[in-house]
C-alpha cells in the first residue's frame, strides 16, 4: 500500500498578461516550481506548497513570527521582482493561500472589477521609490555663555525661530520636489517616513514616496530625479535616494493612488 501524496495548497504571487507566456522564474517559495493558471485575459502566477508548512494553520501559528514570515515574503517578492523585469505584473498580497486553483479563481472572480481597474492602472508601468534625507549639517558654532536670564531667553527664542524657518524651508523644498515628480507619473503615494530603527541611519527620513512610471518614461523620470537631487544638495541641505523598478505594490491596495498629503512629514 503506497503512502498518500502530501496535501498541497496554491500560493498566488500575482497576475500577468495571458497574451504570451511570461518569463517565469524556475522556483519560488520553499523552492517550489512556479506555474500559471488562466484568469480571463490574465494569468495567475502560483506555486503548489505543502499544506502542513504553508496552509492556513501554518499561517495562523507563524504569521506573526518575523523569523518565519521574512523568508516567505522575500521569496514572494523575488518571484514578483523577476516578473516585473520581464513583463507587467499586478502583485497579490500575503498570505495568498488557497486550497486549489478553482478556489483561487473563485476568490479573484469576486473582486474581478477591482482587479481589472487596477490592471489598467499598472499595465505598462513600474514603481519607483524615493526618499529624501538631510545631508550632514555643519557643527553649530559655540556661543558665549549668556550674561543674563534675559539674554538666555532671547537666545532660545532666536534658536527656535531659526529652527522654525529651517523646517518651513525644508517643507517647501520637499513639497516642491514631490509635486514635480508626481506630475510626471501616472500615480503617486506619500507614505509615513521610516524611523531610524528601520533605516539604520542617524539622519531622519524627510520624505518616503512612490511613483508609478510608464516603462517608456523611466529614463526621463530618473533624469528629473537626478536634477532635483542636485538642486536639493546645492540649495537645501538634502539629498534624494531612488530605488527600483519594483512591482507596483503601492498602487494595488490603495483606494486613492494620489495620496499625497505631506502635512507634518518634515520635522
Return the C-alpha cell found at 199.
533605516
Q: State the pLDDT at residue 254.
A: 53
Tell whether 104 and 141 lie within a shared domain.
no
pLDDT-derived band at 218, boundaries 50, 70, 90: very high
Count: domains in the chain:
2
Residue showing cell 553649530: 140
Which pairing describes strands 42-50 and 125-134: parallel, antiparallel, or unpaired? unpaired
**Does the residue 88 lie in any domain?**
yes
**Does the residue 260 lie in any domain?**
no
- Residue-range definition of the domain harbouring residue 214: 125-251
In this predicted model, what pLDDT tens digit does every residue of 85-127 receive, in sequence order?
999 999 999 999 999 999 999 999 999 999 999 999 999 999 9
Distances in Å between the Cα of 185 and the Cα atoms of 91, 93, 107, 129 are 19, 23, 31, 12
Distances in Å between the Cα of 146 and the Cα atoms of 130, 153, 155, 224, 249 are 43, 9, 8, 47, 54
CA distance 168 to 151: 26
Q: State the pLDDT at residue 2.
A: 45
CB count in 10 Å sphere of residue 39: 19
Tell whether 60 and 19 lie within a shared domain.
yes
Domain final residue pick, 104, 122, 140: 122
End-to-end, the C-alpha distance of the chain in Å comes to 69
- Please provide the size of the chain in residues: 267
| Predicted TM-score (pTM) of this structure | 0.82
pLDDT-derived band at 129, boundaries 50, 70, 90: very high
Residue 144 is part of a domain; what is its CATH number? 3.30.70
Tell whether 247 and 146 lie within a shared domain.
yes
In this predicted model, what pLDDT tens digit does every residue of 134-191 receive, in sequence order?
986 544 556 666 666 665 565 566 555 555 556 667 788 899 999 999 998 999 999 9
Give yes or no for a contact between 178 and 260, defined as CB atoms under 8 angstroms apart. Answer: yes
Tell whether 131 and 118 lie within a shared domain.
no
Tell whether 31 and 112 lie within a shared domain.
yes
Tell whether 146 and 246 lie within a shared domain.
yes
Neighbouring residues of 184: CB distance < 8 A, sequence distance ≥ 6: 211, 213, 217, 220, 221, 224
Q: State the pLDDT at residue 257.
A: 46
Percent of the chain whose pLDDT exceeds 70: 79
**Does the residue 193 lie in any domain?**
yes
**Does the residue 134 lie in any domain?**
yes
Amino acid at each position: 500500500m503506497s503512502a498518500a501524496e502530501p496535501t498541497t495548497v496554491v500560493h498566488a504571487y500575482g497576475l500577468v498578461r495571458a497574451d504570451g507566456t511570461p518569463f517565469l522564474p524556475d522556483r519560488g517559495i520553499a523552492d517550489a516550481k512556479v506555474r500559471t493558471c488562466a484568469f480571463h485575459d490574465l494569468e495567475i502566477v502560483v506555486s503548489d506548497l505543502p499544506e502542513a508548512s504553508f496552509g492556513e494553520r501554518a499561517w495562523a501559528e507563524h504569521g506573526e513570527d518575523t523569523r518565519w514570515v521574512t523568508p516567505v515574503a522575500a521569496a514572494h517578492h523575488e518571484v514578483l521582482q523577476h516578473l516585473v523585469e520581464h513583463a507587467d505584473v499586478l502583485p497579490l498580497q500575503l498570505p495568498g493561500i488557497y486550497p486549489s486553483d478553482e478556489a483561487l479563481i473563485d476568490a479573484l472572480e469576486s473582486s474581478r472589477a477591482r482587479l481589472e481597474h487596477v490592471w489598467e492602472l499598472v499595465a505598462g508601468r513600474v514603481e519607483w521609490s524615493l526618499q529624501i534625507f538631510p545631508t550632514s549639517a555643519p557643527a553649530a558654532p559655540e556661543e558665549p555663555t549668556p550674561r543674563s536670564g534675559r539674554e538666555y531667553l532671547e537666545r532660545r527664542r532666536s534658536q527656535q525661530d531659526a529652527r522654525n524657518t529651517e523646517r518651513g524651508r525644508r517643507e517647501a523644498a520637499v513639497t516642491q520636489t514631490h509635486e514635480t515628480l508626481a506630475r510626471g507619473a501616472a500615480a503617486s503615494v506619500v507614505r509615513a517616513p521610516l524611523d531610524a530603527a528601520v533605516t539604520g541611519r542617524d539622519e531622519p527620513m524627510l520624505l518616503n514616496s512612490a511613483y508609478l512610471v510608464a516603462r517608456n518614461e523611466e529614463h526621463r523620470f530618473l533624469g528629473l530625479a537626478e536634477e532635483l537631487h542636485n538642486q536639493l544638495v546645492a540649495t537645501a541641505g538634502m539629498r534624494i535616494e531612488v530605488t527600483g523598478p519594483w512591482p507596483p505594490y503601492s498602487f494595488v491596495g490603495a483606494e486613492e493612488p494620489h495620496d499625497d498629503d505631506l502635512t507634518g512629514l518634515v520635522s
